[in-house]
Amino acid sequence: MWDEIIKTVGGMGLAVWLVRSVIKLYLSKDLEGHKARLRTESEKELEQLRASLHKVAYEHEVRFSRLHDKRALVVAEIYSRMVEAHLAVARLVALLESTDEPKREEKHEIAAKQINQFRLCLEKNRIYLSEGLCGEIEDLSTELAVLATELQLEFGTPRYRQTWAESFKSFREKLPPIRKLLEQEFRKILGVHARTEQDGTSEVSQSSSDHRAIT
């Protein structure tokens, strides 16, 4: 009797062990499969994230490049207007005149027109420039306008010659530093400032070397 019980219990224990082994094997395989699925999904999501980041970086680069191109065009236009206004006032206040130049009245009209176009160009494009740079450009346009206006107001009066001479002196003393500063700022925007400085340094060094060689 006990032998039968022992055999029966032993058989049940073996069956339980087999069932447990099968379950463990199944769970082990299922766990490995789950890990593999998680790994695959993670790699897929990571690849999608990389693609998204690359797309964002590319779009940002394109926008930045287009903005830089636009600012370069704006700087070129403003600088061109600045030079035209500067030259118009320079011709207006110049003490020496040739016979083939326009009459004084026409010079006043040309100067006023060029200054207005210079100012309008700045107002239309100031969003692309810093407030500080816009202020410096406005300072130059104001100086040009003051010189041209003061001279125009005295046109035909006894004081015109004196005002003419004073305007010429003020033009030569005040405007070159302002224009030079603006040109430096424009070069910074265009990305040529550093190269210009390096070129200037190399030229100075070369000049110094030549001087030492001569002496």
| Mean pLDDT value of segment 80-107 | 87
Mean pLDDT computed over 41-69: 68
φ/ψ bin of 191: left (φ > 0), alpha (ψ from -120 to 50), beta (otherwise):
left
Specify the amino acid at residue 21: S
Q: What whole-number distance in Å separates Cα of residue 175 and Cα of residue 140? A: 7
Q: Is the pLDDT of residue 161 over 80?
A: yes
Q: Which range is least confidently modeled, 32-36, 65-69, 72-76, 166-170? A: 32-36
Q: What is the pTM of this model?
A: 0.60
Contact 116, 89 (CB under 8 A): no
Residue 84 predicted with pLDDT over 90: yes
Compute, in degrees rounded to 10, the torsion defined by CA atoms 101, 102, 105, 109.
Answer: -110
Least confident of 72-76, 149-153, 185-189, 208-212: 208-212
The domains found in the chain, sorted by start residue, are: 68-190 (1.20.120.230)
pLDDT band at 15 (very low <50, low <70, confident <90, very high): low
